[in-house]
């Protein structure tokens, strides 16, 4: 496999992993109107939960249960569900910017716990030497990465299929009703608070799934993987791709990650070494510019939400 092909496989694995996170955010914001600014926190819970459950036993660390990778990922998703349930019960009565501030603060708290709870998370050093599922069956890292790309693509496809089924069902129409007019939904005998909690937990579980897949590929987890900038990237992917549309979520994830990766490569190659640390800000500026251009020329994103009109309308 050539160097370009190997990098393309790596790029697609990361992009499709992030697409699962974006679809989780899309079900929250795009379909229900929940402003979750703590995406990276739930991504971290899924990653650390999987790492602790799948990792080897270490005398100085809590955990290291050595579970099979699928069970560890399910365990990480269960931890995300529990955390989302607790956070949701505490914050979902808040609205708009207040909910955003609360979830952002929770994400920062989770990152600080990961950084300082050394006996559980490894602290700033992280958890290293995590087993990669079925790695020993392949004769080279390149062939393994191709296999893992297939795994991530299948998982992203299953998430897309399941969410499409869900949002086209009566439950999906209820989500849009809560988003558009919560009072009207309540007048029809629905419970908007319960719907918001269900959607918040579901979206966070998908973020936890992506965190587990990320750990399985990298074989390492560190607090530096979960800085607030990742939440900015995920939101940019959803805005550019188009909220309220799962295809847009996938397209946005691939497109924005491509811009981020290519700009980082250009900075490392063409910017003098003395300026490369400051040059990282160029990536953020480019993503911000892309968001502005999208909002000006494609306010609904590249693939925005499809208009739905009742068949009984004239």
What is the average per-residue pLDDT within 234-260?
96
Lowest mean pLDDT among 39-53, 132-146, 162-176, 179-193: 179-193
Give the alpha-carbon dihedral of 51, 52, 57, 60, to 10 degrees. Answer: 110
Q: If you write DSSP's letter for every residue of 178-247 in order, what string do you get?
A: HHH-HHHHHHTT--HHHHHHHHHHHHHHHHHHHHHHHHHHHS-B-GGGG-THHHHHHHHHHHHH-TT-HH
CB 214 within 8 A of CB 47: yes
At 308 the pLDDT is 65
At 51 the pLDDT is 95
pTM of this prediction? 0.95
> pLDDT of 131-162, one tens digit each?
999 999 999 999 999 999 999 999 999 999 99
What is the average per-residue pLDDT within 218-222?
95
CA distances from 179 to 24, 170, 196 (A): 16, 14, 9
CB 236 within 8 A of CB 29: no
DSSP-based three-state secondary structure for 32 = coil
At 97 the pLDDT is 80
Percent of the chain with pLDDT over 90: 76
Question: Residue 296 above 80 pLDDT?
Answer: yes
Nearest to 159 by CA among 201, 196, 204, 206: 206
């Amino acid at each position: 496999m050539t160097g370009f092909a190997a990098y393309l496989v790596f790029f697609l694995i990361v992009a499709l992993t992030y697409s699962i996170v974006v679809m989780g955010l899309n079900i929250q914001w795009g379909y229900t109107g929940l402003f979750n600014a703590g995406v990276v926190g739930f991504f971290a819970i899924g990653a650390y939960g999987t790492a602790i459950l799948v990792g080897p036993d270490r005398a100085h660390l809590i955990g290291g249960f050595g579970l099979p990778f699928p069970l560890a990922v399910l365990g990480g998703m269960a931890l995300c569900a529990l955390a989302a349930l607790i956070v949701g019960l505490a914050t979902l009565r808040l609205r708009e910017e207040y909910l955003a501030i609360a979830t952002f603060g929770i994400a920062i708290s989770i990152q600080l716990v990961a950084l300082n709870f050394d006996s559980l998370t490894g602290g700033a050093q992280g958890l290293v030497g995590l087993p990669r599922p079925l790695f020993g069956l392949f004769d080279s890292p390149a062939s393994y990465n191709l296999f893992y790309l297939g795994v991530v693509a299948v998982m992203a496809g299953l998430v897309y299929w399941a969410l499409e089924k869900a949002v086209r069902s009566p439950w999906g129409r209820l989500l849009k009703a809560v988003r558009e007019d919560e009072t009207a939904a309540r007048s029809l005998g629905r419970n908007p608070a319960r719907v918001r909690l269900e959607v918040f937990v579901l979206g966070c579980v998908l973020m936890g799934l992506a965190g587990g897949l990320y750990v399985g590929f990298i074989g390492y987890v560190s607090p530096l993987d979960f800085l607030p900038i990742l939440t900015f990237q995920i939101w940019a992917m959803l805005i550019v791709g188009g909220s309220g549309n799962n295809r847009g979520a996938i397209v946005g994830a691939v497109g924005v990650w491509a811009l981020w990766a290519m700009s980082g490569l250009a900075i490392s190659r063409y910017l003098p070494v003395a300026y490369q640390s400051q040059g990282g800000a160029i990536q953020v500026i480019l993503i911000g510019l892309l968001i502005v251009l999208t909002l000006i020329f494609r306010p609904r994103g590249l693939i925005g939400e499809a208009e739905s009109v009742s068949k009984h309308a004239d």
